[in-house]
Structure 1
Amino acid sequence: MSYQDRDADGAYVDTGHHGPGPELMGAGTVLGDPVRNLKGEHLGQIREIMLDMRNGTIAYAVMAHGGVFHLGAKLFAVPWQALTLDPAHKGFTLNIDKQRLDEAPGFDPAHWPNMATPAWAAQIHRYYEHPADEGSGLS
């Protein structure tokens, strides 16, 4: 199910803008959306959106990768800036090879890290090669 299917209120009507999809979206509408790499390989699904409450921005998309029906899946916090909306495939793209994702720092769904820790955030942003935004409190 894509964000378009979850738009019960008609908020994502095409207004003639020139971007890749809606200009504003509800966070809940992207939960469950697929993530593919630039080769078109399925990498996972958006499981959660993490908001930086200090500055009002999206910090991470938590992506589930592997497993069957969320059983045995590993979670990855991907910097929001590393994802690109892909309306043609009703999901997102992430510029990473599958093997590199398999080696990425991830976590078990039952043991989430403290994502607000600057050292943890720095490690994640370095891995995905997307520096934390200035003033985010996560750098």
Structure 2
Amino acid sequence: MNYLDRDTYGIYKSPQHGNPPLGADHGPGPGLMGADTLIGNDVYNPAGDDLGDVKEILLNMHTGRIAYAVLSFGGFLGMGDKLFAVPWEALTLDTSNKRFTLNVSKEKLENAPGFDKDQWPDMADSRWAMGLHTYYGTTPYSDGLNH
């Protein structure tokens, strides 16, 4: 699934042209995207490996910034999926393929700090956040959550 499929409000459509590529002279994308249209988008690495899909987007309520995308990876038909919080800065929107790119191998994602849907980590813990950013090679924003 991709953001064009979930575009119920016509954010990315031009009345004259149907669905032109993002970046045309209309609509907010790709600089501004509707959060609901991004949930469910596929995530691939640069090698073309399917790394799962975006299940949730977590907002920092103090800053209004997106902190993490929660990815689902592994399992079969939704059973046994492992969830991963990925720093938003680690994802790149691939407007050509209408999906996200995460620059990690499948093996690195499989070994990433993950969690079960019934046991979410304390994402406000600064040690947890720093470990996650270190793992993905990103720099956290000073977000007001971590003291």
**1:124 maps to amino acid:** L
Distance across 2 between alignment mates of 1:91 and 1:15 = 15
Q: TM-score, normalised by structure 1?
A: 0.90
Question: 1:67-109: per-residue Cα shift (whole Å, max 9, x none)?
Answer: 1122100000000000000122221000001111111100011
Q: Is 2:71–2:84's contact at 8 Å kept on the other side of the alignment?
A: yes
* 1:5-41 C-alpha deviation (Å, 9 max, x unpaired): 1112211235635xxx522111111111110001010
* Letter paired with 2:78: H
One-letter identity of the residue aligned with 2:126: P
Question: What secondary structure, in the 3-state scheme, does the structure 2 residue paired with 1:3 have?
Answer: coil
What does 1:60-99 correspond to in 2, within 5 Å? 60-99=68-107
Gaps of 5+ in 2: 14-21
CA contact under 8 A between 2:42 and 2:54: conserved in structure 1? Answer: yes
- The number of aligned residues is 136
Do structure 1's residue 133 and structure 2's residue 146 form an aligned pair? no
Report the identity percentage. Answer: 49
Change (3 A) 1:44 1:138: farther
- Whether contact under 8 Å (2:60, 2:143) holds in the other structure is no
Name 1:40's counterpart in structure 2. Answer: 48
CA distance in 1 between counterparts of 2:98 and 2:44 reads 10
Aligned to 2:17: none
Alignment-mate amino acid for residue 3 of structure 1: Y
Unpaired runs of 5+ residues, structure 1, are: none
Helix, strand or coil: the match of 1:78?
A: strand
- Taking the aligned partners of 1:26 and 1:116, their CA distance within structure 2 comes to 25
Q: Distance in 2 between matches of 1:91 and 1:138?
A: 30
- The yes-or-no answer on 1:53 pairing with 2:61 is yes
2:19 maps to none
Which amino acid in the other structure matches residue 10 of structure 1?
A: G
Taking structure 1 as reference, are residues 89 and 110 closer, same or farther at Cα in structure 2, changes over 3 Å only? same
Q: Which has the larger radius of gyration?
A: 2
Query: TM-score when scaled to structure 2?
Result: 0.86
